[in-house]
Amino acid sequence: MKLQQLTLNSESEEALLYSSDAFQESKANLVLAFGERTFLENSLPYQFLKKRYPNSEIIICSTSGQIANSGLVENSLVITALAFEKTAIKTAQADIQLDSNIQSLGNTIKSQLFSNDLKSILVISEGSFVNGTELINELIEQTGKSIPIFGGLAGDEYYFEKTMVGLNTDATQGKIVAVGFYGDNIHFGFASEGGWSDFGPEREVTQSDKNVLYKIGDRFALDLYKEYLGKYADELPGSSLYFPLAMKEDGHSKPIVRTILSIDEKSKSMTFAGNIPEGSKVRLMKGNFDKLVDASYQAAYEIKEQQKQTPQLALLVSCVGRKIVLGNRTEEEIDAVKEVFGPNLLVCGFYSYGEISPTLDQVSCELHNQTMTITTLYES
């Protein structure tokens, strides 16, 4: 596998960050391009990418911040090109605005990607309309829980207005893109860690509808949440990124972090990136700088312990909420990953509205929020 990474700013100025020996742009077969939504709308970078990498599948995704080998990048497109030498890839796309049936999406991905030598699936999804839990559950069912799935939900800086994804075209709303990787020469490592601290008592969800939470105990969810937020309540939904919700579906399950996408003052409800089932137990969480950075280090270390060979590429998908809490210390969680793997690893990724990664007790994948999720790749 040969790799190249560069940035492109609003003045169409390029900066080459990394290039493998003998990398040939004409042989690149997968390009990941991450940029803020407003940048993508103004620059329309697809033609530039197609001209530079004419034989590649090109994925463009809006973000809440880009991750490059140099660290955190803002106001520029981060472009990472992969030239696989022994691995085949295929792509599939669906538009959730044209067809909101998640099962139809699952059928599309299965029919276009599934085969006996499928090794893993990368999913880059729009993050505004999709119910992340339903998306993940459908993919798990279609692949029989046997295929690791990773990726993330597109971001929109801190605006929460609209997210955009594109496959072999400029990014638009509503798109979900999947990439299948095939053969025995491609190897992956997966890990996801949060680092958030519990805040307040554990309470039971008494009324919800999929990813919309109405009541916790005998209280309206939004009223209770505002009570805990205090001075931050007037800044909802943005301020909710400081205080995500930890959810356990039952007494035996591990907590999963959920992020609020929107609130409804009339129904006093909150809409999350993933489902909050009735009967589940929830607890507020709050961030601590050192614990968040340590979680990134721990996720990288878990992969390093699993893999026999040093990976060539790491895709980091971290949550916009972590970026807000870490502020000017955001680069520390990126540096923590690079510290574990050393200088020979190329890093790319983005800050998202949700992270997709396998878990140790669930082979296929899980929707995460407010985590640092790492996927590493190398070809043998």
Residues 321 and 300 reside in one and the same domain: yes
For residue 152, what are the contacts with CB-CB under 8 A and spacing of at least 6? Answer: 123, 124, 125, 317, 350, 352, 353, 354, 355, 356, 373
Q: Which of 181, 85, 166 is nearest to 126 (CA)?
A: 166
- The predicted model scores a pTM of 0.91
Q: What is the pLDDT of residues 185-230, one digit of tens each?
A: 999 999 999 999 888 899 999 999 999 999 999 999 999 999 988 8
Q: What is the pLDDT of residues 57-105, one digit of tens each?
A: 999 999 999 999 999 999 999 999 999 999 999 999 999 999 988 888 8
Show which of 261, 285, 309 is a domain's final residue: 285
Residues 228 and 153 reside in one and the same domain: no
Residues 81 and 206 reside in one and the same domain: no
Show which of 263, 285, 307 is a domain's final residue: 285
Residues 172 and 234 reside in one and the same domain: no
Residues 156 and 296 reside in one and the same domain: yes
Residues 249 and 308 reside in one and the same domain: no
Q: What is the pLDDT of residues 113-166, one digit of tens each?
A: 999 999 999 999 999 888 888 888 898 888 888 899 999 999 999 888 899 999
Distance CA(368)–CA(361), nearest Å, equals: 14
Show which of 258, 285, 312 is a domain's final residue: 285
CB 358 within 8 A of CB 148: yes
Residues 189 and 201 reside in one and the same domain: no
Q: Which amino acid is at 337?
A: V
Q: How many domains does the chain have?
A: 2
Residues 44 and 167 reside in one and the same domain: yes
For residue 117, what are the contacts with CB-CB under 8 A and spacing of at least 6? Answer: 182, 183, 184
Domain that holds residue 105: 2-193+291-379
Residues 179 and 205 reside in one and the same domain: no
Distance CA(152)–CA(162), nearest Å, equals: 15
Residues 303 and 239 reside in one and the same domain: no
